[in-house]
Structure 1
Amino acid sequence: MKIFSPRNAALAVAASVSLAFAATALAQQPRTLKIQSAVPPSSTTQDALKFFADRVDKLTGGNLKIEALPGGAIVPPFEILDAAHKKVIDGAYGISYWWVGKSVTATLFANTPAGIAGMDAVDFIGWVYDGGGLELWNEFYQKELKLNLVAMPSIPPSPQALGWFKRPIKDLPDFKGMKCRQTGIVSQLYAKMGMAVVNMPGGEILPAAERGTIDCAEWVGGIEDLRLGLHTVWKHHYTPGMHESASVAELAINKDVWDSLPEQNREAIKSASTETFLRWWATFQRLNADAILEFTEKHGVKLMTTPPEINTAFLKTWDEFAAAEAAKNPFFKKVYDSQRAYASKVVPAKRFMFPPYALQADHYWPTKTQ
């Protein structure tokens, strides 16, 4: 028979309190997640990842830290998604259209190409959070691809330029046969339009251009292209392009890692990602403006308007491709139909409500001809 003792009871209470404090202290110990991008250290996308990491650190009071790693730091750039799934890294900072080799549906979660059904980046974010897009995104990774990931939007690296060319292009026939760096679904579409496409990470573009193994390249445009140095090889820069007129990138975190985080830390990641979307986008536009001036004033770059028939042909090629894919791929159709239904409301309404950008721009800053 166990005899009650006030001393034993006090010891038991003390031990219980000690264990509780130990558990609390363990839970409050700073934790670091390794998140890798697929871009060079000089990229503004890498700047965005660092900004995101800083905001998570501050929002959690230092309880959660993000180690912002550039492309190739742990795994090759185009292996970040699988690496996050396998927990080689905790998260991948990329863009979903890179994964079209797994499923063409992946491109839809990047709002690429052509700004799905005319949606700009804000329209797309509306579909993600108000139109069921986030649920479809995670259903795609977790159920369709069997990847142990949780995904969300990160930044809008758009609009993107048609690209850099070794010589002028005046029409669609002039565009055909050129060997050009492209990625994702865009490479398939441009191939259908007659381009000889080459897929490679961003860090390999400049060496390939210098060797003359490619005739042209699409990277991003503006500041990204300036930092990559494409203007040092080619002098003909064409914009706009329809391939990534309103693309949105992603943050994909290993689901086990995500589920292991306290709810407050998960909410901090969501908030930091949304803040990064807006803050980085605004800075990106200003940096692009500076880069455009530098191209022309310091490097003799010719800024050219893309021949309209190229962009029109691209839109038609995508529409045909998407219709064919929807006919054979039920999940692609499910996502695409959802996006088109959302776009059918917001795009016509925005066109009605918003003044044409060119109306005010032309009034205050008329276009200068070269």
Structure 2
Amino acid sequence: MTDQRLNRRSFLRKTALAGGASAGVLAAPAVLAQAPLVLKMQTSWGASNIWQEFAQDYADRVEAMSGGRLKVDVLPAGAVVAAFQVMDAVHDGVLDAAHTVCAYWYGKSKAASLFGTGPVFGASSPAMLGWFYEGGGAELYRELTQDQLGLNVVGFLGFPMFAQPFGWFKGEVNTVADLQGFKYRTVGLAADLLQSMGMSVAQLPGGEIVPAMERGVIDAFEFNNPSSDKDFGAQDVAKNYYLSSYHQASEQFEFLFNKDFYDDLEPDLQAILKYGVEASATANTNKAMRRYSADLKWLQEEAGVTVRRTPSEILDGQIKAWSAILPELETDPMFKRITDSQRAWAEQVAFYELMNAPDYALAYEHFFPGKLSL
């Protein structure tokens, strides 16, 4: 497929030269008119998921910044391949690009999950996105994907997600003992973590979660956020929603590009694809703040969902479980190089972040008394 792919840079260059040779014959607008270069990007999200909108936010910015020279055709999960198969499809050139998360190719290397769904060393999701771009994470990602796994991809991370809720349960859970035996949906290293805490884990794409709950394949689950959960119909199969968790507290979107396709672009178009990720991260964050909070309010007030913070005993159990499973995982040298890098970054950056941050909860409680006592 790579051999058959049109050399787009050569095509664009030849088109421009042909246009120049004809300038004395054709009017300028006709000479300069050029069909956009279309990228076929599939996501790992359903068409109605808010994350599909987030992918479109990226596409809109790329098209605008390129003056229409680039157009991203955003397709939902299943349009070409299944949600968990986008990495392979981009590697093979079946897709030009994908909008996904690293945990979805965790089966190739558990180290993949460290780029978003790994242990929490005390740094926030924005801080860990900083590690990717300023702390050596991007080079480690390149080594893992290209050098170690031989994947023909270029990837960037964007949108530092809010910490993911522990999720949806049919009844209350208050202690680690209450979790024993639950059939629970999650992905990536969170599966290793929660299995070590006594849960039985199924790794399912988002669109399969509620049907699995209805069939009894699982009896508790998490996905990511109130808006996606609402759109899935989570409130129809469970009424207890636990916010805050250490199982996936610092994830980001992964933007994948076929390396042959990316390398063949002019440098300015490469830059637009790369820095468009940063632009969409701001847009996604702003939209998430508005939509996630509004949908959480709807779940409480209209859908009869009881919203709680995950009990401190379970949170403490998660931290201890991370410490317990890391030594075996770190027998993989690449895995350990990444976690060593993340630890060093978190120790420095989270110290500043935590020491500098005022107690926002104290201020919130002052102006909106009683609302946080869930």
* TM-score (normalizing by structure 1): 0.90
Distance 1:18 1:140, change over 3 A: closer
* Residue of structure 2 in register with 1:100 after alignment: 106
Equivalent residue in structure 2 for 1:366, among 360, 369, 372: 369
Cα displacement (A) at 1:114? 4.3
1:45 partnered with 2:48:
no
Cα displacement (A) at 1:126? 1.7
CA distance in 2, matches of 1:233, 1:51: 31
CA distance in 1, matches of 2:304, 2:126: 34
Cα displacement (A) at 1:284? 0.5
1:277 partnered with 2:309:
no
Mapping for residues 257-336 of structure 1, pairs under 5 Å: 257-326=261-330, 328-336=331-339
- Paired residues, what number? 351
8 Å Cα contact 2:125/2:161 also seen in 1 = no
2:137 is aligned with what amino acid?
Answer: G
Cα displacement (A) at 1:318? 1.4
8 Å Cα contact 1:113/1:242 also seen in 2 = no
* TM-score (normalizing by structure 2): 0.89
* Residue of structure 2 in register with 1:201 after alignment: 205
* Residue of structure 1 in register with 2:234 after alignment: 230
Deviation string for 1:187-233 (max 9, x for gaps)?
12111110111121111111122223321111113111111110011
Q: What SS does the corresponding residue of 1:93 show, helix, strand or coil?
A: strand
Q: After superposing the two structures, state which structure 1 stretch, 91-100 or 252-261, moved more.
A: 91-100
8 Å Cα contact 1:161/1:241 also seen in 2 = yes
8 Å Cα contact 2:183/2:202 also seen in 1 = yes
Deviation string for 1:161-211 (max 9, x for gaps)?
101011111211111101111111111211111011112111111112222
* Residue of structure 1 in register with 2:195 after alignment: 191
Q: After superposing the two structures, state which structure 1 stretch, 94-103 or 60-69, moved more.
A: 94-103
8 Å Cα contact 1:180/1:216 also seen in 2 = yes
RMSD between aligned residues: 2.0
Cα displacement (A) at 1:42? 1.2
Equivalent residue in structure 2 for 1:70, among 73, 76, 97: 76
* Residue of structure 2 in register with 1:32 after alignment: 38
Q: Structure 1 or 2: larger helix share?
A: 1
Cα displacement (A) at 1:271? 2.0
Bigger Cα Rg: 1
Q: Between the two proteins, what is the percent identity of the paired residues? A: 35
**Structure 1, unaligned stretches of length 5 or more?**
1-16
8 Å Cα contact 1:118/1:347 also seen in 2 = yes
Cα displacement (A) at 1:47? 0.6
**Structure 2, unaligned stretches of length 5 or more?**
1-15, 24-30
Q: What SS does the corresponding residue of 1:183 show, helix, strand or coil?
A: coil
Mapping for residues 208-247 of structure 1, pairs under 5 Å: 208-247=212-251
